[in-house]
């Protein structure tokens, strides 16, 4: 595989990650309106899978620190504001939780990749 083919392949993978990110956000919002247990299980499973895809394909080495900091802030802010959001409406709380599930899965993958990179440097 030559350099040009490799660059095209990496670009295509990054595009898939981009699309997975936007689909994940859209699903986080849309799936909040599903109230059945089957719908909830499906929602969480889809968000976990898309979060993993985003973490693997979309976050580059250069973006790692910014992504992990933003993810940590999002997760902390969610825990701090979940009661307030729930008072406004339970749908908003569901959207908030779905987004955190999605982002947390991507953050776990990125953090594991970063730990691996740090360990392999020695």
pLDDT in tens, 50-75: 999 889 888 888 889 999 999 999 88
Check pLDDT > 70 for residue 38: no
pLDDT tens string 95-112: 888 889 999 999 999 999
pLDDT at 1: 52
pTM of structure:
0.79
So where are the chain's domains? Answer: 3-120
- The answer to whether the CB of 3 falls within 8 A of the CB of 41 is no
Contact 75, 111 (CB under 8 A): no
Residue 41 and residue 64 in contact, taking contact as beta carbons nearer than 8 Å: no
Q: Decide if pLDDT at 25 tops 80.
A: yes
């Amino acid at each position: 595989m030559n350099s040009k083919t490799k660059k095209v392949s990496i670009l295509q993978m990054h595009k898939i990650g981009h699309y997975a990110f936007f689909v994940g956000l859209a699903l986080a919002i849309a799936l909040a309106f599903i109230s059945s247990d089957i719908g909830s299980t499906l929602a969480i499973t889809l968000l976990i899978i898309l979060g993993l895809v985003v973490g693997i394909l979309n976050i580059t080495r250069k973006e790692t620190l910014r992504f992990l900091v933003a993810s940590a802030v999002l997760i902390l802010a969610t825990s701090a504001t979940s009661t307030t959001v729930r008072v406004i409406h339970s749908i908003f709380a569901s959207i908030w939780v779905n987004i955190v599930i999605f982002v947390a899965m991507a953050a776990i993958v990125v953090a594991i990749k970063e730990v691996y990179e740090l360990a392999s440097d020695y």
